[in-house]
Amino acid sequence: MKVKGIIREEKITLPELKEILITVESERLEAGKEMSYELRKSIEHANQLSKTSAEQAKNLAGELLKMEKMKPEIAYRITNLMPRTRDELRAVYAKEKYSLTGEELDGILDLVKTHF
């Protein structure tokens, strides 16, 4: 399959991607079409790493975006990874020019725990 051009681009979470891939998979199976290796691996990857529902992931990303010092890329990365410890969360912020206080890290971790 060759990509001829990008129609639109938007950020989505891994659980949302999982739902999209499930619908693509069911459509292909109903039509009797064979799934490519890349599609099968993408579905397998999304199934293994998705830790919450698409609705909860979307809500978490929205709540994270309301916080100070939160870029959209980081909010979606946190939503996809669902870190459980301060060290895991610090790894997400490793490349940023600023660091978060313990209280800010705990606030983010509490949000993640409520959506897990």
Tell me the two tokens of residue 19. Answer: 């739902």
Q: pLDDT tens digits, residue range 43-102?
A: 899 888 888 888 888 899 999 888 887 888 888 998 988 888 888 888 888 887 877 788
Residues 6+ apart with CB under 8 A from 88: 81
CA–CA separation, 97 vs 53, rounded Å? 32
Question: What are the structural domains of the chain?
Answer: 14-49 (no CATH), 54-114 (1.10.150.80)
CA–CA separation, 38 vs 81, rounded Å? 22
Reported as a pLDDT band with limits 50, 70 and 90, residue 3 is low
Q: What percent of the chain has pLDDT over 70?
A: 97
Q: What is the DSSP string of 3-20?
A: -----------HHHHHHH
pLDDT for the residue numbered 40: 87
